[in-house]
Amino acid sequence: MDRLWRDAEAAYRAEILASLQAMPSARLLDVGCEDGAWTDAVRTRLGIAPQQVSGLEIEPRLAERARGRGFDVKSGDADGRWPFDDAAFDVVHANQVIEHMRRLDHFLLELRRVLAPGGIAVVCTENLASWHNVGALVLGFQPFSLTNISGLRSIGNPFAAHADHVQAGESFQHTYVLAFSALKDLFGAHGFAIDHAWGSGYHPLPRALARVAARLDARHAHFIGIVASVPR
């Protein structure tokens, strides 16, 4: 299970980078940037300097480490107002963040507010309709992606140790886990144009087969991602 999870994670990160192209003048915001390590990979793909990168991170210690990379990182909760100006960014990236939000519409409203016309949002999350979540429900257990509903411990799934990959605590629990179609519908409802959407990981298939299956049937892949743009 650990190997399948790592393979799926590597696949979706590759998809994120593949969805971007060099934009030397771009301004990047990474929502939930943690220590900035993955932010740096996104920055490198865009071909921009650290001074063109901003971040929003709820954990102050991680935010400080990201600042050490030369990024302008604000400490704050994405469920509140984002401390950035309107139309300030050309690219907004949020990896494994939207499922932790308590206010989905607020997240999309802030995302659109800080994006400049023609800007793009790249969002990746877990898929509620993945086969391993469906299988858990069929067997009468909590879906893998919704086992950390308590700040005390994972509950409702005997395999929950594989499902928890974030810190315990209310701010880090999964609140809304979306299906592939719902993710696209949510962005469409907020006036975004869907440029590209994908799935990665397809349990219990091994890496090569999972890559093909996720491409053919993103609706049941482990992770789902979307690239959406703000019309000019």
What does pLDDT average to in each consecutive run of 10 residues of the chain (232 residues)?
84 94 97 97 98 97 97 96 97 96 96 97 96 94 83 61 42 85 97 96 90 95 96 84
Q: How far, in Å, are 2, 18, 109 from residue 14 at the CA level?
A: 18, 6, 27
Q: How confident is the model at residue 162, as a pLDDT?
A: 47
Q: How confident is the model at residue 153, as a pLDDT?
A: 63
Q: Which of 50, 54, 49, 46 is nearest to 69 (CA)?
A: 50
Q: How confident is the model at residue 201, as a pLDDT?
A: 92
Instruction: Name the 3-class secondary structure at 16.
Output: helix
pTM greater than 0.75 (yes/no): yes
Q: How confident is the model at residue 164, as a pLDDT?
A: 44
Q: How far, in Å, are 21, 54, 77, 85 from residue 172 at the CA level?
A: 31, 21, 11, 26
CB neighbour class for 215 (10 Å; exposed up to 12, middle 13-18, buried from 19): middle
Q: How confident is the model at residue 173, as a pLDDT?
A: 83
In the 3-class helix/strand/coil scheme, how is 195-222 assigned residue by residue? EEEEEECCCCCCHHHHHHHHHHCHHHCC
Q: How confident is the model at residue 55, as a pLDDT?
A: 98
**Which domains are delineated in the chain?**
2-229 (3.40.50.150)
Q: How confident is the model at residue 103, as a pLDDT?
A: 93
